[in-house]
Amino acid sequence: MSLTGTPLFHLLIAATIVCVAATIMFCSRVKGPRPLRWLVRLVMILLCQLTAICVVAVRINNDYGLYASWNDLMGRDTQTAAMPGPAADRAEFTHSTTGVQQTYFRGKQSKLSGQVIVWTPPQYDQPRYRHDRFPVVLLLHGVPGSPESWVDQGGMPQDFRQLMKAGTTHPFILAMPVIDPGGINTDCTNQAGTNVGTWLARDVPHLLGHAFRTLPGSKSWAVMGFSTGGFCAARLPLAYPKVFGTGAALDPDPLTGDPDVITNPQVRKRTSPTHMVAHTTAPVNLFLATSAQDRFSPPRCLQQFTKAAAGTRVRTQTMVLPTGGHNYNTWARLYPAAFAFLSRHTTAPKQ
């Protein structure tokens, strides 16, 4: 059974109810010597507490995507740690029951390897679109987290299907790459030989362009992310404007940089979105959103960023929800506005 998702959560709730009910019914009926009776009662109480704690822990993990699998929880997840892998032109995509495809490959330029999950819209396989190419949105997960976070907790691609049906967005190819290959987080920058920026802006687009009918040019490529992925969604269009013309940052980490990720203050400042936006000449479009209650992504950080962007060619739109924490429920509430923004500033499918 998967560590993430609702089956395990519901099973633990049921186990908690059973343990509490059994304790109430049988605690006074335990027979045997007094020390044994006390020991059995203590075990019953501990089981009630343990199952209740597990319910809370699994709920927190589902909300924040802290661990993506049992191997990840136990420290045995080596999928992204193994840098060797097939080249993009030899990467094989496998299909899952959720309608997504996934692969593992090694980037030619970054020399990094990792997982990429891809979903193509229904139109992609329809006869009337058989010669059309499609715009692409890279969906960037948080750290800790994984590409599966978008599928298991982020509601993708189901939520995006509903937005297409409502007519608020045009079809996109959704691609979910790992943003910390090998488990090394660099805030999507190139640091000390770990070239995550190159991985996301060069190698992943090369893979997608080789394997799918994608539209060329920055007008057709966008990024969207939450938390650390939101930081990256604000940064990548500024760092690689010829690749990504648009970004949507949902509850991004503070856009001045994280001292725990990049310890050198000069490097951290130079690579931070707030510094970069004040010095760019690129005409990119950025959507930034958070909630008034999110202490991990305070609205003042967005205000600081938009102030730095004033007078540049960067066009920004901000949104601050009155309520909501740093979790998937808040991010899902931002999907309609975010995808509408991406749709307005990207090219629709065409030949």
| Predicted confidence pLDDT, tens digits, the chain (351 residues) | 666 567 888 888 999 999 898 888 887 787 878 888 788 888 888 988 999 998 888 777 655 444 545 655 665 444 433 357 888 889 999 998 778 999 999 999 999 999 999 999 999 999 999 899 999 999 999 998 999 999 999 999 999 999 999 999 999 999 999 999 988 999 999 988 899 999 999 999 999 999 999 999 999 999 999 999 999 999 999 999 999 999 999 999 999 999 999 999 999 999 999 999 999 999 999 999 999 999 999 999 999 999 999 999 999 999 999 999 999 999 999 999 999 999 999 999 987
pLDDT of 58? 77
C-beta neighbour count of 319 within 10 angstroms: 17
- The secondary structure of the chain, three-state, reads CCCCCHHHHHHHHHHHHHHHHHHHHHHHHCCCCHHHHHHHHHHHHHHHHHHHHHHHHHHHHHHHCCCCCHHHHCCCCCCCCCCCCCCHHHCCCEECCCCCEEEEEECCCCCCEEEEEEECCHHHHCHHHCCCEECEEEEECCCCCCCHHHHHCCCCCHHHHHHHHHCCCCCCEEEEECCCHHHCCCCCCEECCEEHHHHHHHHHHHHHHHHCCECCCHHHEEEEEECHHHHHHHHHHHHCCCCCCEEEEECCCCCCCCCCCCCCHHHHHHHCHHHHHHHCCCCCEEEEEEECCCCCCCHHHHHHHHHHHCCCCCEEEEEEECCCCCCHHHHHHHHHHHHHHHHHCCCCCEC
Peptide bond into 157 cis (omega under 30): yes
Q: State the pLDDT at residue 61.
A: 61
Q: What is the pLDDT of residue 81?
A: 39
pLDDT value, residue 189: 95
Q: Across the strands, what pairs with 247?
A: 223, 286
Q: What is the pTM of this model?
A: 0.78
